[in-house]
A = this chain, B = another copy of it.
Amino acid sequence: MRYHHPEREQLRIENVLTALGSPVRLAVVRVLDAGGEHNCTSVLTLLGVTSKSTMTHHWRVLRESGVIHQEPSGRENLLRLRREDLDARYPGLLDTVLNGALDDEKAEAARERPRAAR
């Protein structure tokens, strides 16, 4: 079964923001953005997520917002980030968000450090 994907022109900023606005989906996007070939299983392994069923919803949100492309291949689903489409429609958005996620991590690590030192 092939999945439906919105065309580049059909992307809507609020759908993209909603798709990116969840820790687990943002983590998926960061894995895909780092490069390499990925399928659902390899992404979940990297993220340490064991429940495939809870991910079904997340794949759909990412796919239907136009953030990822998901294509069946054998018993697996190949995944790729639709960076070209996102960059064409919303220049700078993806990088800004990915940098923001990195910045959040650093800020959190800086807050955790003094506590760990006690």
The quantity of this chain's copies bound in the complex is 2
Q: How many residues of A contact B (CB 8 A)?
A: 29
Compute how far the CA of A15 lies from the CA of B23 in the bound complex, rounded to whole angstroms.
9
Q: Are B13 and A100 in contact (CB under 8 A)?
A: yes
Other than A13-B103, A17-B97, A93-B100, give 16 A-B pairs with Cβ distance below 8 A: A9-B107, A11-B104, A12-B104, A14-B20, A14-B22, A14-B26, A16-B100, A17-B17, A17-B18, A17-B20, A17-B21, A17-B26, A91-B96, A92-B92, A93-B93, A96-B96
Query: What's the dominant secondary structure at chain A's contact region?
Result: helix
CB-based nearest B residue for A11:
B104
Q: Are B21 and A14 in contact (CB under 8 A)?
A: yes
Query: Would you list 23 pairs from A and B whose C-beta atoms are within 8 A, ordered by A residue?
Result: A9-B107, A9-B111, A11-B104, A12-B104, A13-B97, A13-B100, A14-B21, A14-B22, A14-B26, A14-B101, A15-B21, A16-B100, A17-B17, A17-B20, A17-B97, A18-B18, A18-B21, A18-B22, A19-B21, A90-B103, A92-B92, A92-B96, A93-B100
